[in-house]
Structure 1
Amino acid sequence: MHQEHKLSKRFELCRGMYNACLRELLKRYTALKQSKKYRVVCKMENGKKRNKLFSELNKEFGLVEYSIHEFVKPMQHAFKKNIDSFTSQKIATRAFKAFEKIMYIQGKKVHFKKYGEMYSVEGKSNSTGIRYKDDNIFWNGLVLRTIVKKKDVYAHLALEDKVKFVRIKREWIKNKYVYYAQLVLEGTPPKKYNSKGMKNNSSTQKRVGIDIGTSTVAVCSETKVMLTELAPSVVELDKQIRIIQRSMDRSRRASNPLKYKEDGTFDTSNKDKWLFSKRYMRKKSQLKELQRLNRAKRKQDHEMLANSIIALGDVIFVETMSFKGLQRRAKETTVNEKGKFNKKKRFGRTISNRAPAMLLSIIERKLKYKSIRLNKVNTTLIKASQYNHFTNTYEKKKLHERWNNFGFCKIQRDLYSAFLLMNCKESLDEIDRDLCEQHFHKFRKMHDLEIIRLKKKGKTPISTGI
């Protein structure tokens, strides 16, 4: 209990430092934008001279990483019994990286951390500050014993590598914080062993095409065709989350009637303190636990799917997609056949739950362990969803059209796109028609078997068209 209390205190001190760094950076950035020099440089044409002047202005106004390290130093001295200098510098770096997104117009605003929202703290090296030695974590007089299972062969193999730095993480699990030591090690992860004691050797130099959507993924290789749902484990949890969120909203409205207008919208003019019932707080705790499970299950599903895809082949082709663009609401107001306005919502919730970009990042990370890159083809040139390799023509299809009719056969649209991507040229800007004709007969057989399997399965996502 004493160690838990000390850790909780230190996490809150780190949160205060992080927010202070963000406030200081925003204050300096406001001063920069108000300066005459900045306005003059903004009017200049893009080029090396303009970039150099911007760099000089950033140094002048203290908008560089090492400048914020100097700012956090007095705070660290005030709390030196709890926070070491390396950890405080890492917090300052973290705040600067968050702020940089605003400076380079990659984000609209920074988010300050509320009470209890600091979930991880890390050091810069394993020599001072937070460090790992002899199965213990040492941090400013605090000694934390780590638990490594004796039968966990993978963990013991990994711990043979050099520890670069240590990160202490905490998660809210069943109404309490659980703390973890995350060691960042040098080199690549050791290979896992299967039940027979043999290494799981994946195939090499075999082509794989991936057509990824918002809720499904189609995979085509030389030996297997697969159309599967992304993160299927999150579906049931998502329903439970929505039910609890609706219950919390009803409770919040009942406890704070003056905070809402007659039409049900939030009244910004009311500055009264929010009131929350005990029932609401219990629901909030349940929601937090479900959201944690949701994250864990989604990542687990993606890791397993990534392993099965890489086992089919190492030469993987995928289209570049802007998932952020698909999350945005539609700008144009349209009317349907009945004269009613169409919803402007697009795929925001689906992408949030299924996280397709996460799957690609996991595949890319696993390929890097073998010094192989993920082949990202040019979407505007390839147009896999529109291309017909028989006629060498492009035909634009509507979103609800899920099948390609070639006259002599019907092929599911996503699986056909994955097949085309598998037969992409090394230049990544053109489909190899010769390869398509060479492999199509085998692909069609595997495609038909996969469609039969999906039909027997019963319920499949609407986007598959099955």
Structure 2
Amino acid sequence: MANYVLTLPLKTEKWQEDILEKRLNIARQIYNACLGEILSRYKLMKRQKNYGLAMKMGKGKERNAIFNKIRKDFGLTKFDLNKYVKPMGQKFKQNLGSQMVQEIAERAFGAFEKLMFGEAKKVRFKTFGEFYSVREKGNITGFRYFQDRNIMEWLGLTMQVIIKRNDEYASKCFLDKLKFCKLVKKVIRGKNRYFVQMTFEGVPPQKDNHSISNDENARVGLDIGTSILAIASEKEVKILELAEDINVDEKLKRVLQRKLDRQRRANNPNKYNEDGTIKKGNREKWIQSKGYIKTKGALAEIQRKIADTRKQSHNKLANHILSLGLDVRVETMNFKGLQKRAKETIVNEKTGKINSKKRFGKSISNKAPSMLIRLIDNKLKHLGLSVKKIDTYKVKASQFDHFTETYVKKPLSKRWNKFEQGNIQRDMYSAFLIMNTKDNLKEIDIDRANSSYENFFKLHNKEVNRIKNLDKKQLSSIGL
């Protein structure tokens, strides 16, 4: 069954905030204790002979059976961790319920599983003030909501939930079944703010200002890059910069990052080598001055604004895409791979200098293209659909010419395709081809592309004229 989340602010007083901070800190300590315990068991398990032999085996049922037995023998299961954390729940029962303590243990286990299965290189323990949320498993005990009084109760603590009088969306949400509630702390402009995230069962109600298409057959092709998105549909063709508004804070962010680094080095000279690198063997405590803490807070505020702006921009764009059609098609992209530095060292023939190994890490971090695709997919899942990911290596949309049915490899610097009918911007043409893939998502439907090309060409030229008339610096990747 699908779920969705409604976030509402809590009205809190100073004494209540002190209690919330105390309970979040207890939750942090429990999380760290669980993570430390399971990592100790994991290290012990890795020393066993059976584990080493299983690692050398090929993937298969026999190997999995050995791993599962070893994990059970060393208590590396969710059940064993819940058993380990049970005494902690008894000790802190006045501040955290047993269900919440179990959820914290399961969160630590989830972090460990990412490490064990190679999805993460390491796991991080939470430092003081870094634990921002706790949740219950249901709305029966502990942190729970009472709709008749519009309050949250949590083991003797009562907090008012703030709902605007004209918030019709929230009113519609409460018609669905409330599954569980989550307390979330956010630091906004240097002050702690507390929110409740309510998870409801079902499909989120549609907002009045959102006009999502009802046509499951209306296709939308997306050619997404590290910072640019091209859209092709029967209604319109667009090429847009992702999260365009976040560039406003980037300069200030870089200034604060450099200032923070200078302050950190000035406060901790013994932690650095003469060449400026950090001493690996030095375990002295890092010193944080008042100026450093102030700069750190200012940087965190900038990053919060960037994250909020990016999420708002992506949500708005996702809703617009779904208003064009519900058959959304996109190339499969390995954005994690694009974030990594280049392995090969290349010397520039003209200058004799080594080319930078940096690739698209900063752009992907700021624009978060995969986040947009995930938002679209989540919205489609509420309708029983999903984003259709085409086979990038077989379709090769950026190289294909549907007129001649041939593939021509082009350098990234070439942004336009030259056809008899006129020049076509490369990204928009790729989006057009993606829109016209067959249902097997492995090849272009030539007949469909030919029949829809005239409409695409007209909409493409309209979009090119719009971009040329924009009163701002053009995007170099578009080629205008």
Q: TM-score range by the shorter chain?
A: over 0.9
Is the counterpart of residue 223 in structure 1 residue 238 in structure 2?
A: no
Question: After superposition, where does 1:132-143 map in structure 2 within 5 Å?
Answer: 132-134=145-147, 135-143=150-158
Match of 2:187 in 1: 172
Shift of 1:272: 4.9
User: Which residue does 1:298 correspond to in 2?
Assistant: 310
Deviations, residues 78-98 of structure 1 (Å, cap 9, x unaligned): 111101100000001111111
Look up the match of 2:476: 462
Cα shift at 1:407: 4.5
Match of 1:400 among 387, 390, 413: 413
Residue identity matched to 1:374: V
Matched-pair identity in %: 48
2: CA distance, partners of 1:102 / 1:55: 16
SS at match of 2:329: strand
CA distance in 2, matches of 1:297, 1:168: 22
Unmatched tracts of structure 2, length 5 or more: 1-13
In 2, Cα distance between the equivalents of 1:283 and 1:231?
25
1:147 maps to what in 2?
Answer: 162
Residue 210 of structure 1 contacts residue 317 of structure 1 at CA under 8 Å; is this kept in 2? yes
1:308 aligns with 2:320: yes
Residue type at the aligned position of 2:314: H
Q: 1:257 to 1:28 in 2, by over 3 A?
A: closer
What does residue 8 of structure 2 align with?
none
CA distance in 2: counterparts of 1:53 and 1:258, whole angstroms: 47
Q: Which amino acid aligns with 1:143?
A: T
Residue 42 of structure 1 and its aligned partner are, at CA, apart by 2.4
Partner of 1:53: 66
Preserved contact between residue 212 and residue 322 of structure 2 (Cα < 8 Å): no
- Is the 2:212–2:319 Cα contact (8 Å) retained in structure 1? no
1:200 maps to 211
Quote the offset at 1:273 in angstroms: 4.5
Report matched runs for 1:83-122 at 5 Å.
83-122=96-135
Kindly report the root-mean-square deviation, in angstroms, between the aligned alpha carbons of the 2 structures: 1.5
Q: Is the contact between residue 18 and residue 95 of structure 1 (CA under 8 Å) also seen in structure 2? A: yes
Q: Which residue of 2 aligns with 1:37?
A: 50
Distance apart, 1:132 and its partner CA: 1.0
CA distance in 2, matches of 1:266, 1:45: 40
Retained in 1: the 8 A contact 2:85–2:101? Answer: yes
Q: Is the 8 A contact 2:223 2:230 kept in 1?
A: yes
TM-aligned CA distance change 1:284 to 1:403, over 3 Å: same
SS of 2:434's equivalent in the other structure is helix
Structure 1, unaligned stretches of length 5 or more?
none
The aligned residue for residue 248 of structure 2 is 236
- 1:322 is aligned to 2:334: yes
CA 1:102–1:275 in 2, change beyond 3 Å: closer, same or farther?
closer
Q: For the Cα contact (< 8 Å) 2:99–2:136, is it kept in 1? A: yes
Work out the CA distance in 2 between the residues paired with 1:75 and 1:8: 18
Alignment of 1:389-428 (within 5 A): 389-428=402-441
Name the residue aligned to 1:11. 24
SS state at 1:233 partner: helix
SS at match of 1:182: strand
Q: Name the counterpart of 1:128.
A: 141
Q: Is the contact made by 1:215 and 1:354 (CA closer than 8 Å) also made in structure 2?
A: yes
How many pairs align?
A: 462
Rounded to whole Å, the distance in 2 between the matches of 1:246 and 1:412 is 39
Give 1:444 shift. Answer: 1.1
Give the structure, 1 or 2, with the largest relative contact order (CA under 8 Å, sep 6 or more). 2
Q: Secondary structure at the match of 2:170?
A: helix
Task: Determine the structure 2 residue equivalent to 1:286.
Answer: 298
Matches within 5 A, 1:332-347: 332-337=344-349, 338-347=351-360
8 Å contact from structure 1 (residues 65, 93) kept in 2: yes
For 1:158, give the aligned amino acid: C
Distance 1:369 1:355 in 2: 22
Read off the aligned partner of 1:81 and give its amino acid letter.
Q
